[in-house]
Structure 1
Amino acid sequence: MVNIIWVCMTVIGIIFAMINGTMSEVNEAIFNGAKEAVTLCIGLISILVFWLGMMKIAEHAGLLQKLAHLFRPLVRKLFPDIPNDHPAMGYILSNMMANFFGLGNAATPLGIKAMEEMRKLNGDTTEASRSMITFLAINTSSLTIIPTTVIAIRMNYDSATPTDIVGPTLIATFCSTVGAILIDRYFYYRRTRKGVKK
């Protein structure tokens, strides 16, 4: 569906440019955008490699395990239908730790593995389970302590104070995560009550 939307937007943009006679500006924007994207990616690599390396050091030092252990009681309450020793729980905690440090690229494969494990628990059905919906809501809102990627982008564009984004990001992601959990629980209990009434 997303691919169709992008194709439609591209085609509409080109047709609009042809009608208005601005194809040269569109071509210039395409090449400048491609050049800037490559420059941005190269600039991000060094920062992301550094933080991924720090994550590996934290993992080997046992810091991630301690953080995961600290958050395990909360995660158990959020996902009561997942057994404590199930692989899905480990992937969920790892995904949350990666999101805490703003490493979305590292969190994505962990999130996919968590969904795969939860799907197995759900009997490999195509319908999303309660835990899958909750995890998607939390992963989308993703509480972030250190927005690594955003800091890297700000540094790449020569921001005078690239880390000023830390405080607002923490507040915004905390509010979004709490909001996601409350909305998820509201619709879950609403659906449960409807099921009981029937």
Structure 2
Amino acid sequence: MINGIWLGLIVIGVVVAIFTGNVQAVTDAAINFSGTAVEIAIGLIGIMTLWLGIMAIAEKSGLIRGLAKALSPIMKKLFPEVPADHPAMGAMIMNIAANILGLGNAATPFGLKAMEELDTLNEHKGVATDAMVMFLAINTSSVTLLPATVIGLRAAAGSTNATEVIGPVILATTISTVSAIILAKLFGKMKRYKVENYIEKSDVENVQEG
């Protein structure tokens, strides 16, 4: 999907350049920004190494597990249908805790594990449960306390205060996460989006096709 979007943007850009007579400008820009991309990537190596090292220390020191314990009461309210001692709950807590600290690489396996475990509670395989939808919404909009990648990009681009985005990022991701939770809860209560409603429609369609 993403590859298709990028391909479409490139094709549209080339076509517009041809019709407007700016092919040379597009070619020059592509070459110049390719060099800029390499410079930024090289500049990121040191910054990302530093931040990933700090995050690794946080992970090894038990900071993530401590944060996970703090999140446990909230998670029980957000996912009432998931038993507190179920493996899915632990995986979700670890995923969210890792995302909060900017540990994307550590969060990914926890997220995949959480979805696998949530599917074991799913009575209708192939149809996302309310818990799955809620987890995906939180995971996508996750509150971030340390946006290491953004800080690294700003530092590589020559920012004099690369960390000044931390406050706005915390505010923006908090708002996005709260909004995602509210919308997931609201849509989950609508009959149109109930799993039972989807199953009924599927059964009717199967009967009609048969």
Give the TM-score normalised by structure 1.
0.85
Q: How far does residue 75 in structure 1 lie from its aligned partner after superposition?
A: 1.2
Whether 1:45 and 2:42 are equivalent positions in the alignment is no
Residue 87 of structure 2: aligned partner: 87
| C-alpha distance in structure 2 between counterparts of 1:60 and 1:77, whole Å | 28
- Listed as ranges, the matches of 1:151-166 within 5 Å are 151-166=151-166
8 Å CA contact 1:122, 1:129 repeated in 2 = yes
Residue 66 of structure 2: aligned partner: 66
Residue 141 of structure 1: aligned partner: 141
Greater CA deviation, 62-71 or 1-10? 1-10
Q: Which runs of 5+ in 1 are unaligned?
A: none
What is the letter of the counterpart of residue 166 of structure 2? V
Residue 76 of structure 1: aligned partner: 76
Whether 1:122 and 2:122 are equivalent positions in the alignment is yes
What is the letter of the counterpart of residue 121 of structure 1? L
* SS of residue in 2 equivalent to 1:121: coil
Residue 204 of structure 2: aligned partner: none
* SS of residue in 1 equivalent to 2:144: coil
| C-alpha distance in structure 1 between counterparts of 2:168 and 2:77, whole Å | 27
Larger radius of gyration: 2
Q: How far does residue 192 in structure 1 lie from its aligned partner after superposition?
A: 8.4
Q: How far does residue 140 in structure 1 lie from its aligned partner after superposition?
A: 1.6
Flag the 1:165–1:77 CA change in 2: closer, same or farther, 3 A.
same
Flag the 1:12–1:95 CA change in 2: closer, same or farther, 3 A.
same
Aligned length: 197
8 Å CA contact 1:88, 1:115 repeated in 2 = yes
What is the letter of the counterpart of residue 64 of structure 2? L
Q: Which runs of 5+ in 2 are unaligned?
A: 201-210
| C-alpha distance in structure 1 between counterparts of 2:137 and 2:125, whole Å | 20
* SS of residue in 2 equivalent to 1:7: helix
Whether 1:168 and 2:159 are equivalent positions in the alignment is no
Percent identity of equivalent pairs? 46
The two structures, once aligned, show a CA RMSD in angstroms of 2.6
